[in-house]
């Protein structure tokens, strides 16, 4: 059939379907951007409709000139009869669920690994792990198992995929792998799986404890999954600065990993280790609440950032907030407050809010369905009915209008014209399926059985069934009716039962009947906001011999906040400030509505001592060098630099402290072993003072072969007594990076700042 005729017929079917169904179920979700009514989602002139359970038709047209075409419709291509069958309720809901199953089959590669997306081949640690937690542990357990095993280094650690400045430890969210591995056990009950992977879990946790635990007791490193540096951090931040930052999402991931490891250890009879992991998780939880909770906003800050004196970035970051609820970092009351206060735009919740004005949509100014799915799970747990409905709508709107599970969308207009995108995205389709399985049917695998806690908004009231649901080699046929977040009656195979079923009590085939209580949810709010973009980051500098902080004026700003040593000390409408008192200074721009920019790059007028190590050279000799420079290396201070690799001796200098007190140690370095945005050759070293380790410095990539680009490592604070000290920079076992073969950099000088 001619393609044009096919589209016309599809549109006629769409209009006919709208007429036939317009009087059925009514409005389910309605925002200023779109409406989901009955079997149709409408957004302005565009509409999407499900003529059947195996077809979705859309009239959507993408932004003109965008490189990625929009599918006019989805039709079932694969045999999904071996997977759960959804019946009853809303037809569009059923079609979107079936599209998730259809695309899930597409995502299983010939080698039985899970493909990241149509445009992205291979297995990525965070992508596959978040997908396994959402749905794949239950629906694709063998592919999940094989995929997780693919993400282990030759030396038995979890792989942190290529990322900012050379992967780990600038990026540190690999621990979501542990949570996914535990979710797989809950789905299968296979103890041999835990026996197989526990040494990897134990080694990786020990590695991170020595390298990524920050001074505030949080986990240092990039915000989980948000790994495009300038898309979520101020431009002045180097990748070494990102390593020193402490993120909500990544810290919560580590809490969940520690708790999962505690359960694994207990299962293996390692009771003392189980208690140790549980205690570490509790301490980390307390520190997250102490450092990042903002009672005036009703949610956690996105991350801390800075240099000697980090401050918080008060943006709301949705995945971290959702995970804080799901993994019990937030108390039940905090969970309610978070769902009521995280800003919700007409298209849904942002990856973070407010946006960065001078960055295009990708992580910035964007909605990602997998994040929205975790947000839906969090709202369900908190009992926020309207928040849950809008979260579901923010996943189903694009799934229907684009007739596929896309990766991400522009928050301003709901379109796909972001920097990168893909159809058939694994974590997007996994989130789609989780909304039905984990929320509307409430299927919650536990260590020894299944807990059912369905949450059904009144607008989605229906009689539904999910037949053939797999669980530990058995099948479940689940029938559910009514609405609400409490169960009136629950039966297993015709007999009354609690909503928790021990795995051992299930037969080969089981029938579960659930009747909801039809009781109203607690009255809870949603923080509806238009999409907002913060002012650009001011550029500040010290002048008059360090006695004045000056900065560029920002158009349309209301005033500025001056920060000294991480504390807000003044507000002004001027563009200079007296800094005669030694310290580390920054400035923040504030808009008329109170929205704040990032803080400017820290500027310190404290005394810095710069020491060149002995045995300097001007030529590269290490076999670990990945990119040899074409010309002689330039830009070093003194007579040269010291090369450090696996075989080199520690870099050692002597320093005499004038007084007792706090000092800051950092290195001036170069690393041309890889690009800034990918690969895995971040150089890592331990800092020793008088033979005792005081911290870790990272020397991330600064560009392939770019050995003339010198930068600073993260800063390590240390308390020194008055008198002489020996400072060493050496490689310890915990400093091995993800590349293993290349852990190499150049050290120009060691800088010590008197921070008293």
599 and 563 Cβ atoms separated by less than 8 Å: yes
* CA atoms within a 13 Å half-sphere pointing along the CA-CB vector of 110: 0
Q: Is the pLDDT of residue 69 over 70?
A: no
Q: Which of 101, 96, 100, 134 is nearest to 319 (CA)?
A: 134
Task: Say which DSSP state 141 is in.
Answer: H
Per-residue pLDDT averaged across 631-657, rounded?
95
pTM: 0.95
Per-residue pLDDT averaged across 733-752, rounded?
97
Lowest mean pLDDT among 23-37, 371-385, 634-648: 23-37
- Can you tell me which residue has the tokens 């931040």? 237
So what's the pLDDT on residue 68? 65
Per-residue pLDDT averaged across 275-298, rounded?
98
CB atoms within 10 A of CB 463: 12
163 confidence band (pLDDT: 50, 70, 90)? confident
Q: Is the pLDDT of residue 626 over 60?
A: yes
Q: Which of 624, 467, 455, 600 is nearest to 541 (CA)?
A: 600
So what's the pLDDT on residue 14? 40
Share of the chain above pLDDT 70, in %: 96
Q: Which of 273, 382, 416, 323 is nearest to 129 (CA)?
A: 323
Task: Give the tens place of pLDDT for each residue, 131-160.
Answer: 999 999 999 999 999 999 999 999 999 999
Using CA atoms in the order 573, 575, 576, 577, what is the torsion angle rounded to 10 degrees?
Answer: 40
Per-residue pLDDT averaged across 267-285, rounded?
98
67 confidence band (pLDDT: 50, 70, 90)? low
Q: Is the pLDDT of residue 178 over 70?
A: yes
Tokens of 708: 């003339």
So what's the pLDDT on residue 347? 98
- Can you tell me which residue has the tokens 């949570």? 179
CA distance 666 to 657: 16
Per-residue pLDDT averaged across 437-465, rounded?
98
Tokens of 547: 């006695």
Instruction: Provide the 3-class DSSP secondary structure of residue 639.
Output: coil
Per-residue pLDDT averaged across 318-331, rounded?
98
747 and 620 Cβ atoms separated by less than 8 Å: no
Task: Give the tens place of pLDDT for each residue, 519-565.
Answer: 999 999 999 999 999 999 999 999 999 999 999 999 999 999 999 99
So what's the pLDDT on residue 17? 39
So what's the pLDDT on residue 65? 62
80 and 101 Cβ atoms separated by less than 8 Å: yes
Task: Give the tens place of pLDDT for each residue, 335-351.
Answer: 999 999 999 999 999 99
Per-residue pLDDT averaged across 364-390, rounded?
98
Q: What is the mean pLDDT of the chain?
A: 95
So what's the pLDDT on residue 23? 34
428 and 370 Cβ atoms separated by less than 8 Å: yes
CA distance 155 to 738: 10
So what's the pLDDT on residue 21? 36
């Amino acid at each position: 059939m001619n393609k044009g005729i096919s589209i016309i017929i599809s549109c006629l079917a769409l209009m006919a379907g709208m007429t036939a169904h317009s009087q059925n179920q009514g409005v389910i979700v309605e925002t200023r951007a779109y409406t989901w009514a009955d079997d149709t989602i409408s957004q302005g002139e565009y509409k999407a409709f499900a003529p059947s359970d195996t077809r979705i038709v859309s009239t959507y047209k993408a932004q003109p000139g965008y490189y990625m075409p929009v599918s006019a419709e989805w039709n079932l291509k694969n045999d999904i009869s071996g997977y759960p069958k959804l019946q009853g309720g809303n037809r569009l809901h059923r079609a979107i669920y079936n599209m998730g199953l259809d695309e899930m089959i597409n995502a299983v590669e010939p080698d039985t690994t899970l493909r990241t997306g149509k445009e992205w081949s291979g297995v990525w640690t965070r992508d596959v792990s978040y997908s396994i937690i959402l749905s794949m542990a239950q629906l694709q357990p063998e592919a999940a198992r094989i995929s997780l095993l693919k993400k282990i280094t030759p030396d038995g650690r979890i792989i942190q995929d290529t990322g900012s400045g050379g992967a780990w430890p600038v990026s540190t969210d690999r621990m979501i792998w542990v949570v996914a591995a535990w979710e797989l056990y809950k789905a299968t009950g296979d103890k041999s799986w835990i026996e197989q992977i526990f040494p990897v879990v134990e080694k990786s946790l020990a590695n991170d404890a020595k390298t990524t635990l920050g001074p505030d007791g949080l986990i240092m490193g990039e915000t989980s999954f948000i790994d495009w540096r300038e898309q979520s951090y101020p431009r002045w931040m180097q990748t070494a600065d990102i390593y020193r930052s402490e993120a909500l999402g990544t810290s919560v991931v580590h809490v969940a990993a520690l708790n999962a490891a505690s359960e694994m250890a207990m299962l293996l009879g390692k009771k003392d280790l189980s208690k140790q992991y549980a205690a570490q998780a509790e301490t980390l939880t307390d520190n997250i609440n102490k450092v990042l909770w903002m009672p005036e906003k009703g949610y956690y800050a996105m991350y801390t950032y800075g240099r000697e004196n980090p401050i918080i970035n008060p943006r709301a970051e949705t995945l971290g907030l959702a995970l804080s609820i799901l993994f019990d970092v937030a108390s039940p009351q905090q969970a309610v407050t978070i769902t009521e206060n995280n800003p919700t735009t007409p298209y849904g919740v942002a990856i973070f809010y407010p946006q960065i004005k001078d960055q295009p949509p990708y992580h910035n100014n964007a909605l990602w369905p997998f994040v929205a799915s975790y947000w839906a799970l969090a709202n369900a747990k908190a009992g926020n009915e309207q928040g849950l409905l809008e979260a579901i709508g923010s996943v189903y709107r694009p799934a229907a209008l684009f007739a596929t599970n896309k990766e991400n969308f522009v928050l301003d207009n709901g379109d796909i014209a972001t920097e990168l995108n893909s159809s058939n995205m694994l974590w997007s389709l996994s989130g789609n399926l989780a909304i039905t399985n984990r929320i509307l049917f409430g299927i919650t695998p536990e260590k020894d059985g299944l807990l059912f806690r369905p949450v059904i908004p009144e607008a989605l009231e229906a009689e539904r069934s999910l037949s053939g649901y797999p669980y530990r080699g058995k099948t479940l046929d689940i029938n559910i009716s009514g609405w609400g977040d409490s169960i009136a009656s629950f039966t297993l195979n015709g007999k009354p039962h609690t909503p928790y079923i021990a795995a051992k009590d299930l037969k080969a085939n089981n029938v579960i009947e659930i009747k909801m209580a039809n009781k109203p949810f607690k009255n809870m709010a949603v923080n509806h906001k238009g999409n907002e973009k913060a002012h650009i980051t001011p550029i500040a500098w010290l002048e008059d011999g360090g006695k004045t902080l000056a900065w560029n004026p920002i158009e349309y700003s209301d005033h500025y906040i001056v920060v000294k040593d991480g504390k807000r000390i003044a507000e002004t409408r001027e563009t200079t400030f007296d800094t005669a008192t030694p310290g580390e200074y920054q400035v923040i721009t504030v808009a008329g509505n109170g929205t704040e920019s990032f803080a400017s790059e820290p500027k310190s007028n404290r005394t810095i001592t710069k020491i060149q190590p002995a045995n300097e050279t001007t030529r590269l000799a290490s076999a670990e060098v990945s990119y040899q420079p074409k010309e002689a290396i330039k830009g070093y201070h003194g007579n040269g630099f010291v090369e450090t690799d696996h075989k080199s001796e520690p870099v050692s200098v002597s320093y005499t402290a004038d007084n007792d007190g706090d000092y800051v140690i950092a290195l001036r370095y170069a690393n041309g072993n890889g690009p800034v945005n990918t690969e895995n050759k971040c150089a890592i070293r331990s800092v020793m003072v008088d033979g005792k380790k005081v911290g870790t410095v990272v020397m991330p990539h600064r560009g392939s072969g770019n050995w003339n680009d010198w930068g600073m490592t993260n800063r390590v604070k240390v308390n020194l007594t008055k008198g002489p000290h020996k400072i060493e920079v050496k490689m310890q076992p915990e400093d091995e990076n993800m590349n293993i073969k290349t852990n190499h950099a150049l050290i120009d000088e060691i800088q010590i700042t008197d921070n008293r």
